[in-house]
Structure 1
Amino acid sequence: MSESRLVTVRVLATLLVAFGLAYVGWRWTGTVAWHAWWIAVPLVVAETYSLGESVLFGLTMWNARRRPSPPPAREGLAVDVYIATYNEPLELVARTALAARDMTYPHETYVLDDGDRPEFARMAAALGVGYVTRGPEWDGRARFAKAGNVNNALFRTTGDFIAILDADQVPEPRFLDRVLGYFEDETIAFVQTPQQFWNVPDDDPLGSRAELFYGPIQQGKDGWGAAFFCGSNAVLRREALMALGLTRFSQEATGRLRTALRGARSRVQDLEGRLAVRAPSALPVAEEALAAIRRAEGRVRHGDVLGEVTYALRQEIHAATLAHPDIDLPEDVTAELDDVVEHVEVVRTDQALAIQPMETSTITEDMATAMHLHAMGWSSAYHHEVLVLGLAPDDVGTMLSQRHRWATGSMQVFFSDNPLAVKGLTLAQRLMYLGTMTSYLAGFSALVYLAAPVVFLLTGVFPLVADPVAFALRFVPFFVCCQAMFLVAGAGSRGLWRGQQMSFALFPTWIAATLSGAAAVFLGRHVSFAVTSKTGTDGADGWRHVRTQVVLMVLLGLAAVIGVVRAAAGDASVTATAVTLVWIAVDLAMLWVVVGAARYRGFTGPDPTAPASSELDAALVLATADDGPAASRPLP
C-alpha cells in the first residue's frame, strides 16, 4: 500500500470511528423502540456489532505494510516440501508433486498420503519423490486430519524448513527462492504467500477470490506482527514448530501430572482410612507415601522438571515400602501403592505422538498454530507475490462445505482458546486474531438485517423511533465512511463487491458454524474435517444448498408488495415505508449472489497448470500398473 493511500485509509478510519460512535450512541440512547424490544434490541445490537467489525477492519488497515523484497535465499538450507493429500485424484497430486520436485532451490519433496494408497506410492516412486503415510502407532488413535498428517511427517523427515502445499496447489519453480531469504531473520517462524486460483471465471460466482484478504488484510496483519499462516503456500521453520510442540506438551503434561497427583493423594488418603481399621501397623507406610505425593505436588507448583518429579516420587514410595521391614504389609496395600506409581507418569498419552507441533485441537490448525507461535514470541512475514496457483471449489455445495469448515474451526478457537486470553500475544495481535474469528458472527447480524424490514412491512412495527432526517444525518456519514475505507483499502483487488455479498448471503453457514464450534467446545461434540472436493459434487442441483436464501428473497419481495399496499391505504408511514423499501433492495442485492452460485456449473477454460510432460504421463501409467514400483523412499 502506497504512503498516500495509507494516509487516506487512516483518515477514513478516524472518521469512521467518530461517525460510528456518534450514530450507535444515538441509536442506544434515543431511538430504540422499546415497545417492540424483540426486534428493536436485536437490531441495535447488530448495528453495534457492525461498528465493532468496521473498527477492527480500520485498525487492521491502519498499519498495512508491503515488505521490500527479501534477501536472496542462502545456499545450503535443508528444505522439505510437503504435499498433503487424503482423497484427491492421482493426477492432481502427481501434477503438484512434479512441479514441487522441479522447484529450483535444492530440496526434498514428499507426498504425505493420508489415504495410504498403493498407486500414490508408485506415482511418488516414478517421479523420484518421497512418500510418507501413517505408521501402526496411529491405529485406533485420533488422527487429527491434516494436522496429524503433517505432524507425522515432521518426525519422519529432517529438513530445517518445511514448505506446505495442498494437493491442488501447483508452485512456480522460484517459490522457495523467493521466500527463504526471510529466514535470515532468526525470529521468523513462517512466511505466507497468497492463495490464488486458476479456475475462477471473471464474474467469480462462488466468491472464491480472496484478494482483499491475500493483500491489504494480510499486509495489515503483517504490520501488526500477526500475519496469518493459512495452511498452504507457506514455508515454516522446523525449530519454531518443534519448540511449540514441546511447549504445549510440557503444559499438557503438567496438567496431566497435577491431575494424577490429586488422584494419587485421594487414593492414599482412602488407603489410610482403611488401614486405620484393619491394619494400623501399616499406617506409617501410607503416611510416608502421602507425604511424598504432597512434596511432588509442591515441586510441580515450583516448576521443577516433571521427569525428575515423577522419578523422585517413585523412589520415595518404593523406599517407604522398604523402610519398615518389621511391618507385614498386606498384598493389596503393596498393589495399591504400585498402581499409584504406575498412574503418575508424565509421558503417558493415548495419542500416536506425544509431541504435536501442529495444533490439533481445531480443524483450522493453521490459524491456531500461528497464534501460538506468535504467543511464544516468534514472528511471521507475508510475502505479497503469487507464486502458487490452486484449484477453487467448482460448485456451490463444495464451496459451502469449505466455508463451513473454516468458520467452524475459527469459532472452535474463539470459544476454547480466545486470543484475548492467550498469554504472550501483544494487544494488536489479540485484536487481529479476534477480528478474524468474530467476523463469522456476522451471520446473526445478517439475519436481523433481513428480519427487521419484513417485520415492519408486514406488521407496521418499526424498530426505530426517530425523525427520518435525523436518522439520515447520522447514518449516512457512517455508512459512506465504511464503504469508502473498504474501497480505498482494497483498491486494485478484484471481487470486493462479491466478497461483501458472500459475507452477507452465507449467513446460514456462519450461524451453523458458530453453533457447531460452540457445541464442540461446550458439549464435546465431534467436528469432522471435511476435505474440499476437487471434482465437484452438485451436478445440476445447486439450488438445494441455497434454498434458505431463495425463500427469504421471495419473502422480501412479498413484504415489499404488502408494504406498498399498506402505505397506499394509509396504514403505514410513507416515509418509513420508503426507507424500508431501500433497505429491502439492499438486502436483495446482497442475497442475489446465491442465484449465480446455484446456477454455476464449473469452469470451462484452459488449465494453465497442466504440464505437457511425458514424464507425468509415464508416472501415471506406472502408478496404475500392478507391477509398478512399490515405494519411492521407504521412511520409518
Structure 2
Amino acid sequence: MDTGQQERAAARRLLLIRIVVLLTALLGVNYVAWRWLFSVNWDAWWIAVPLVVAETYSLVDSLLFGLAMWRLKERGEPPAPPPGLTVDVLIATYNEPIDLVMRTARAALAIDYPHRTWVLDDGNRPEMRAAAEAEGIGWITRSEDWAGMPRHAKAGNLNNALLVTEGEFLLILDADQVPLPSILDRTLGYFDDPRMALVQTPQWFVNVPDDDPLGSQAPLFYGPIQQGKDGWNAAFFCGSNAVIRREALMQLGVSRYADEVQAGVQRALRTARSVLRQARRGLGPDEDGVRRALDSIEHDIGRARRELARGEALMDVTYRFQQRVAEIRRRLVEADLTAVQSDLAAIAELERSTDEADDGLAGVDLSALDQLSARDWSPLGAVETVQALVDAVDVDLGSEAQPIMPMATISVTEDMATCMRLHGLGWRTAYHDEVLAHGLAPEDLATMLTQRLRWAQGTVQVMFRENPLLQRRLRWGQRLMYFATMWSYLSGFAALVYLAAPIVYLTIGVLPVQALSTEFFVRLVPFLVVNQLLFFVVAAGRPTWRGQQYSLALFPVWIKSFTSAFGNVFLGRSLDFAVTPKTRQESDGPAWHLVRPQLWAIAALVAAALVGVVRIGTGQAHPAGTIFNLLWVGFDLAIFSVILKAARYRGFDPTATPAPIPDRARRGAA
C-alpha cells in the first residue's frame, strides 16, 4: 500500500471513529442525565446516589477517551534522520543484575546511528563499572554533590547524567529495554521540527505469553491512546524507549529553577510581612524607634514585590532588599546596645540600693522593682525576625544537589510531569507507533502489583501537585489529555460501587433505580453496546479485554494509590520508590494473599448470586430485576477471573508461545 492509499485508509478510519464517538457521547449523556433527573431511588439514597455518581464518573471517562480518539494520529513512515547529530544513549539502572544491564548496553552499543552509550549506575557498583568500561561503554554514577541530599530515584539519576553528558539528543532506556539497531534511524527524523522535544515509542515485552495473564503489553495504551494524545500534541514520556532533545530539557530545567526561586521569594516576602506585623504588636509604647524600623522593612517588602511584578531581575531585587534590611538591622543593633547600657545602669543602681538597704531587696522601693520587671530589656525578638527575613529571601537551592533539575522530581515517576512541563513551554512531542525495543515484563503478581502501584501513585501525585486543568500554559486539549490519564486511576472507587449494587439487590432487594423499566433498558443497553463498539473500532484488531479487566480488577491498587499519594502530598507521609524487579520473585505457590480484597469480592458476588436464585425461587424477588443483576454479577466475575489466573501464574515458560509483535511494528523488528 503506497503513502496515498495509507492516508486515505487512515482518513476513512478516523471518520468512522468520530461517528462512533458522537454516538457514544449522545447516548451516554442521554442515559446519565435521565438517571439523575428521573431514575434515582431517593428512598435508598445510600446505594442509589453512589451508583449514579459512579455512572457519571464512567461517562466522563468515556467522553475523555472519545475526545482523545477524535484526533487519533497515524504518523506512518517516519522522516529520514539527518546526519551528524550527536546522541547519548542513557541506560538507567540501580540494582538490576549486571548481565541484564550489559545485554541492554551491548545492544545500545550496536545501534546503527553514531552515538555514545552510557550506563547510569545509581547503585555505584564497582563490578558494574568494570563490566561497562571493559566493553567501551561509559559509566556514570552520582557526584559527591548528592551526598546527604534528596536523591529523587530515577529522576535524580537522569538529572545527574544530564550535567555530565553533552549529546544534542538523549535516548532513554530502562535496564531491561533492549533496543533494536534501527531505533535512532526511525526516530531522529522527527526532530527536523525545531520545536519537537520528544519522540516516544512503545514498550513491548518478550517474556509475555499470548494470553498475557498480568496484562503487561497494554496494546490499547501503546497504540490508540497515545496516538489520540498525539493528535492533541499531548503524547507523553513513558520513562523509557524515548528520544529527547537536550535543549528542551535544559530550557525546562532553567525555567523551573527561575520559577521556583521567584515563587520562593514571593512566599518569603508574604510570610515576612506577617511575621513583622506580629512582632510589631509585641512592642511597647516607648519603642517608637523599633516600630519605625519595622515599618521601614515592611515598606521595603512592598517595594520588592512591586519590582518583581514589573519584571526586574530577581537577583538585583533581592540584593537591594537585603542591603536595606542589613542597614536597618545594624541600626536596631546599635539601638539595642544603647538599651543594654541603660539596662546595666539600672542594674547597677539596683545593686547600690540593695547594698544600702538593711533588708536587701525587701528594702528597695517596690515601684522601682515593678518598673524594672516591666521593662523590655531590648528588642531582640524584632532583630531575630528581621534576620529570619533576610535568610528567607536568599536566592539559593541549597536543599538540592544541583539547582537545575530538568527531570521532574514531584512524583515517584518522572515521565509524565516532565513532559507536561515541556508542553507548557510550547514544545511538541510525537508518538511513533513502532516497537523499537524489547523489554522484560514482571513475571509474578507481586512485581506487577508493585509496578502498577508506583505508576498510579506517581500519576496521582502529579494530579495533586500540578493539576493539568490549572496549568495556564497548556492548551485546553492538552489539559484534558493529561487529566484523562489521571482521572482513569480513580476507577477504584467506582469499582466498589459496581460491586456493591448487585450484591445489595440480590441479598436484600433494594433497588438503586426507581424501576427496571423498559425506558431504563432502552437508554442503558445502546450506550453500553456503542461504548464497546468504540473500543473495537479504535483497537483495529488489538486485544483490549485484558486491559478492561485490570482497570476494575485492580481496584484495591487504584484506591491505595490515591490514599497514599494524598497522604504524601498533603500530610507529608513517606512514599518510598520501589524499583520494579527484573527477575521473578520466588514463591511457594499461588499468591492468594496478594489479592485478598478481590477474593472477598468474588466470594460476595457468588454468595449474592446464590441468595438471589433462592429469593426468586421462593417468590421474594422480582424476576426481571434478579436476572438483570445476575447478569451483572456474571460480568463482574468475568472481570475478576483474571485475578485468579494472575495469582497462579508461575512466570514465562520459554517453550510457550510468546505474545506476537504487533503488525504495525514488524518493520522495526525486521
TM-score normalised by structure 2 residue count: 0.86
1:463 aligns with 2:512: yes
Which of 236, 241, 252 is the aligned partner of 1:233? 241
Alignment of 1:258-337 (within 5 A): 258-265=266-273, 289-318=297-326
| Preserved CA contact (<8 Å) 2:79 2:190 | yes
Look up the SS of the partner of 1:178 in the other structure: coil
Kindly tell me: are residues 197 and 319 of structure 1, through their superposed partners in 2, closer, same or farther at Cα, counting changes over 3 Å? same
> Which whole-Å deviations, capped at 9, do the CAs of 1:139-166 have from their partners, x for residues lacking one?
2221111111111111111112111100
Partner of 1:502: 550
1:518 aligns with 2:566: yes
Kindly tell me: are residues 178 and 290 of structure 1, through their superposed partners in 2, closer, same or farther at Cα, counting changes over 3 Å? same
Shift of 1:46: 1.0
Which of 31, 44, 49 is the aligned partner of 1:41? 49
| Preserved CA contact (<8 Å) 1:198 1:607 | no
Moved more, 583-592 or 256-265: 256-265
Shift of 1:281: 6.4
| Preserved CA contact (<8 Å) 1:12 1:481 | yes
Distance 1:334 1:82 in 2: 51
Alignment of 1:548-567 (within 5 A): 548-567=597-616
Q: Larger Rg: 1 or 2? A: 2
| Preserved CA contact (<8 Å) 1:188 1:379 | yes
1:16 aligns with 2:64: no
Distance 2:560 2:299 in 1: 51
1:162 aligns with 2:170: yes
Shift of 1:301: 2.8
| Preserved CA contact (<8 Å) 1:407 1:510 | yes
Shift of 1:109: 1.2
Residue identity (%): 51
| Preserved CA contact (<8 Å) 2:425 2:473 | yes
1:116 aligns with 2:124: yes
Which of 247, 257, 265 is the aligned partner of 1:257? 265
Moved more, 499-508 or 520-529: 520-529
Alignment of 1:332-343 (within 5 A): 340-343=389-392
Which amino acid letter does the alignment assign opposite residue 583 of structure 1?
Answer: W
| Preserved CA contact (<8 Å) 1:165 1:233 | yes
Which amino acid letter does the alignment assign opposite residue 365 of structure 1?
Answer: E
1:353 aligns with 2:405: no
Partner of 1:482: 531
Distance 2:456 2:295 in 1: 53
Distance 1:215 1:81 in 2: 24
Partner of 1:532: 580
| Preserved CA contact (<8 Å) 2:94 2:122 | yes
Partner of 2:150: 142
Distance 1:6 1:273 in 2: 68
Moved more, 165-174 or 306-315: 306-315
Moved more, 238-247 or 465-474: 465-474
Partner of 1:409: 458
| Preserved CA contact (<8 Å) 1:257 1:344 | yes
Kindly tell me: are residues 319 and 462 of structure 1, through their superposed partners in 2, closer, same or farther at Cα, counting changes over 3 Å? closer
1:200 aligns with 2:208: yes
Moved more, 318-327 or 591-600: 318-327
Shift of 1:492: 2.4
Shift of 1:537: 2.1
Which amino acid letter does the alignment assign opposite residue 575 of structure 2?
Answer: V
Partner of 1:32: 40
Shift of 1:295: 2.3
Kindly tell me: are residues 37 and 139 of structure 1, through their superposed partners in 2, closer, same or farther at Cα, counting changes over 3 Å? same
| Preserved CA contact (<8 Å) 2:210 2:657 | no
TM-score normalised by structure 1 residue count: 0.90
Kindly tell me: are residues 33 and 71 of structure 1, through their superposed partners in 2, closer, same or farther at Cα, counting changes over 3 Å? same
> Which whole-Å deviations, capped at 9, do the CAs of 1:175-224 have from their partners, x for residues lacking one?
11111111111111111001000000001010111111111111111011
| Preserved CA contact (<8 Å) 2:333 2:383 | no
Report how many aligned residue pairs link the two structures: 608
Distance 1:167 1:451 in 2: 42
Look up the SS of the partner of 1:81 in the other structure: strand
Which of 431, 434, 437 is the aligned partner of 1:382? 431
Could you list the runs of 5+ residues in structure 1 that have no partner in the other structure?
Answer: 610-636
Kindly tell me: are residues 137 and 468 of structure 1, through their superposed partners in 2, closer, same or farther at Cα, counting changes over 3 Å? same
Shift of 1:348: 3.9
Which of 605, 608, 614 is the aligned partner of 2:654? 605
Partner of 1:619: none
Kindly tell me: are residues 104 and 286 of structure 1, through their superposed partners in 2, closer, same or farther at Cα, counting changes over 3 Å? same
Distance 1:325 1:26 in 2: 73
| Preserved CA contact (<8 Å) 1:103 1:174 | yes
Kindly tell me: are residues 280 and 513 of structure 1, through their superposed partners in 2, closer, same or farther at Cα, counting changes over 3 Å? closer
Alignment of 1:169-180 (within 5 A): 169-180=177-188
Kindly tell me: are residues 328 and 484 of structure 1, through their superposed partners in 2, closer, same or farther at Cα, counting changes over 3 Å? closer
Shift of 1:172: 0.6
Partner of 1:444: 493
> Which whole-Å deviations, capped at 9, do the CAs of 1:32-58 have from their partners, x for residues lacking one?
111111111111111111111111111
Kindly tell me: are residues 229 and 326 of structure 1, through their superposed partners in 2, closer, same or farther at Cα, counting changes over 3 Å? closer
Partner of 2:63: 55
Distance 1:599 1:411 in 2: 30
Alignment of 1:417-456 (within 5 A): 417-456=466-505
Kindly tell me: are residues 283 and 420 of structure 1, through their superposed partners in 2, closer, same or farther at Cα, counting changes over 3 Å? closer
Kindly tell me: are residues 279 and 381 of structure 1, through their superposed partners in 2, closer, same or farther at Cα, counting changes over 3 Å? same
Which amino acid letter does the alignment assign opposite residue 148 of structure 1?
Answer: G
Kindly tell me: are residues 420 and 386 of structure 1, through their superposed partners in 2, closer, same or farther at Cα, counting changes over 3 Å? same
Kindly tell me: are residues 341 and 106 of structure 1, through their superposed partners in 2, closer, same or farther at Cα, counting changes over 3 Å? same
Distance 1:525 1:334 in 2: 35
Look up the SS of the partner of 1:176 in the other structure: coil
Moved more, 409-418 or 274-283: 274-283
Distance 2:532 2:500 in 1: 23
Look up the SS of the partner of 1:67 in the other structure: coil
Partner of 2:358: none
Could you list the runs of 5+ residues in structure 2 that have no partner in the other structure?
Answer: 1-8, 341-379, 659-670
